[in-house]
Chain A
């Protein structure tokens, strides 16, 4: 028994509105509410709802014989919730059949895997939780944005506990090998890989309605013949495509829905294929070999690389800029800022800045709301400028210092310890404020005569003195302790000072200096 594995990508970005230079610092609405709503509704009516209905009918007709899988980005789900809740409902009905698997991906369809492991992991976890809360199924198979994969990314995915990942069966990676087997990651052999059969996938996704194509019109008879032509030993044909293929990229008039409706019947009657989900294949199949992918691949364009999103100066500048503020954004713990920052990571924004108009320009143009990549870049950077201003303002109004500064007389090491702890445990901003307090310096102590110091120190109670000495440098410490009796020295060393904060230290020091100044 051989398998056909269907996976459909469902994604909608939060498109940006036209954001002029004059808006920077003034207007903080970045997203084109009208366009996003309009497109979500249009695609829902043309694609998601009718195609889901076809899938539901097929599952009803063939029972557990017909199985499919979806990867739905978090941004798409957010938009469905906002604009087209009927789409969520429709996916829910599909989920209830038990014949549908939902895959994990990054929440905002981002390229974070290439830049930040922390952000990547967080986003995947967020999307998994979202899927689970909506459909009651926790994804256990992973597919990355645009099927982007490398040995390193695979390793990270394996670390996150996934058993299987989907990617492109790129020719330059496979060479003579067939995509119709299960493979494994080159670094961590536990991670199984399912590779897209781009020939047969693209026959449906891109060439279906292309009249200049020699095989037009594509019928289920032809398609099943091609499936049958595949060597009997090859185990799985992975048909991965955008869900929008049905009804949106290939209009209903092209007959794409009829094709879809008829395909399973033809497969069952004229071939020995069954339909399976990636999870079923994970449980059933074993990898035949490792594949080596040192440089990231994707499912886009003829080159199957990253050049649709990254590589020209515009894209690199924008991409570096958005991740340069990662730490700063996260430290705010502000829901809105973090959410918008994530929406700005969506790969589509970088796709619009692509300048390779020659071979795949048509496809790019079709999805591009901007007149040119330059306009896309300017618009994005304007938005990012405003976002950065808001971020700085957030730090200012909440009185947080963005960069940890050395506090007076407290050894650098200690300060680092404090700030490091903050970023890890993410204490509330209020605590951070205390670190920023400048602690009064005890340097004047060094100028006081020993005899006078000895006399005056006796006027101060031991606990207060101990607190004042927290974090002083060696010189001052020696000077003060040298003028104290042994019993008092011992006393001071025995106080528990672990819970003392900077404010108390500062106060104790001020008191000490006051006493020293007095007669």
Chain B
């Protein structure tokens, strides 16, 4: 079986959970004997004139220490498409970034507090145009390759999936990692919603990352429930060596928030809970790692609460520093307001960090050894944090069983379920 997959960046060039999930899933599929043509948008500005290029294995920025991956090289083709598409951007942010690039002539954007983006300025100036242009390129790719099924991750690539389906007549599966309601709350962008719904309608089958997301797809987008399958994400056993024994240089315990500092992730609840904990115990340091449109507001709030001495901001962290951060942490908190899945608590648990997660996250459907709270309940959140910090029995149990729990969540198993969905789509 061969799948044409419209995916996102691979580690170490990674901006969030979507890339990690694509990477893990691809590996799992290869293990299941599925061949993959992996298409990613890439905008480094130094591409040659042809918009699409097929890469040889040596050119792909994947950790080559990964032996499993190496074994399956013959089963994967990797295609890069010159494009400005970046996951997680709203049309407005996209416009801002493009304008910034054009006005300043700088090809990087806000280098300290966000991911280092590079733009060539060659591509579409408007996100919607760019999505359509990408779909055009996708149809060319579909014409030039043979495959049995198409798999598209998140709305930016849905039009590409639809175009590929039109050209090839092969079944389309879309993988919903997040919906517009997760990203924007109730103030959705109508254009984005329309694309999402079109993708869901045109798809033969839909994979949702959690029951939470499945319900949104059914209720908010009016999709036939039979079409929507849940495949929970998994987590890769860590391959990067090193920071497991990172020496901690501060004696206080560390409580960490790690993720984009945006509405969806609930950073404001974390700040309020931190304030509550600090009233009781000054020997804790809170860290907000990540960047996003709410970062400045969070910094102001922390200053206003006069807790900056115990509350730190790191800005965007790359993969290595994320590992380092986990190694230093005593408690990990994911207070997401709406989280289709949320892979980061699994990464924390893998690093022996007990976690507090919001009930409004997909990952809470599969985790037993995590303290679950409502994102808005800052008292409960403060309580959970305080408990994990002070009652050793609790944190020991969570660390021990949590690690075992996460180690059992393998991408191989998830990929097996995805493969079943492929088979079902082909049979239809």
Query: Which residues of A are interface residues toward B (Cβ below 8 A)?
Result: 18, 20-22, 24-26, 312-314, 316-318, 320-321, 371-372, 374-375, 377-378, 381-382, 384-385, 388-389
- Residues of chain B within 8 A (CB-CB) of A18 are 112
Are B306 and A381 in contact, with the CB atoms below 8 A? no
Can you list 18 A-B contacts (CB < 8 A)? Answer: A22-B321, A313-B300, A313-B303, A313-B304, A314-B303, A317-B306, A321-B308, A374-B295, A374-B300, A375-B112, A377-B299, A378-B299, A378-B313, A381-B308, A382-B312, A384-B309, A385-B309, A385-B312
Which residues of the partner chain B approach A374 to less than 8 Å between Cβ atoms? 113, 295-296, 299-300
Question: Which residues of chain A are within 8 angstroms of B314 by Cβ–Cβ distance?
Answer: 20-22
In Å, the complex CA distance between A375 and B113 comes to: 8
Task: List B contacts of A317 (CB < 8 A).
Answer: 303-304, 306, 308
Q: How many A-B residue pairs have CB under 8 A?
A: 67
B110 beta carbon closer than 8 Å to chain A: yes
Q: Contacts A313-B303, A317-B308 hold; do A25 and B249 have CB atoms under 8 A apart?
A: yes
Chain A residue at minimum C-beta to C-beta distance from B301: A313
Query: Taking the complex as formed, is B250 at the interface, i.e. its CB lies under 8 A from any CB of chain A?
Result: yes
CA–CA, A175 and B296, complex, Å = 39
Residue of B nearest to A23 (CB): B249
B residues with a Cβ closer than 8 A to A are 110-113, 248-251, 287, 289, 295-296, 299-300, 303-304, 306, 308-309, 312-315, 321, 324
Secondary structure call for the A interface: helix
In the docked arrangement, what's the CA distance between A381 and B248, Å?
19
Query: Whole-angstrom distance between the alpha carbons of A115 and B341 in the complex?
Result: 50
Inter-subunit contact B308/A21 (CB<8 Å): no
A314 contacts B300, C-beta separation under 8 Å: yes
Interface majority SS (helix, strand, loop, mixed), chain B: mixed
Which of A20, A22, A316, A388 contacts B309 (CB under 8 A)?
A: A388
Interface centre among B250, B296, B299, B308 (most CB of A within 10 A): B308
Tell me, rounded to whole Å, the shortest Cβ–Cβ distance linking B408 to chain A: 32
A26 and B249 contact, CB distance less than 8 A: yes
- Contact between A22 and B324, CB atoms less than 8 A apart: yes
Chain A residues, CB < 8 A from B315: 378
A21 and B303 contact, CB distance less than 8 A: no
A432 CB to nearest chain B CB (Å): 23
Decide: A314 and B299 in contact? CB cutoff 8 A: yes
**Chain A contacts for B306, CB-based, 8 A:** 317, 320
- Which residues from A are CB-within-8-Å of B287? 21
Q: How far is the CA of A389 from the CA of B283 in the complex (A)?
A: 12
Complex Cα distance, B412 from A39, in Å, reads 57
Complex-state Cα separation, A314 to B112, whole angstroms? 19
Could you tell me the distance between the alpha carbons of A459 and B350 in the complex, rounded to whole angstroms?
69
**Across the interface, do B303 and A371 meet the contact criterion of CB distance under 8 Å?**
no
B318 to chain A: closest CB distance in Å? 12
Asked if B112 contacts A24 (CB within 8 A), the reply is: no
CB–CB A321/B309 < 8 A? yes
Q: Which residue of A lies closest to B295 (CB)?
A: A374
Contact of A21 with B313 at beta-carbon distance under 8 Å, contacts A316-B303, A317-B303, A375-B112 already known: yes
Cα separation A18 to B306 with both chains bound (whole Å): 22
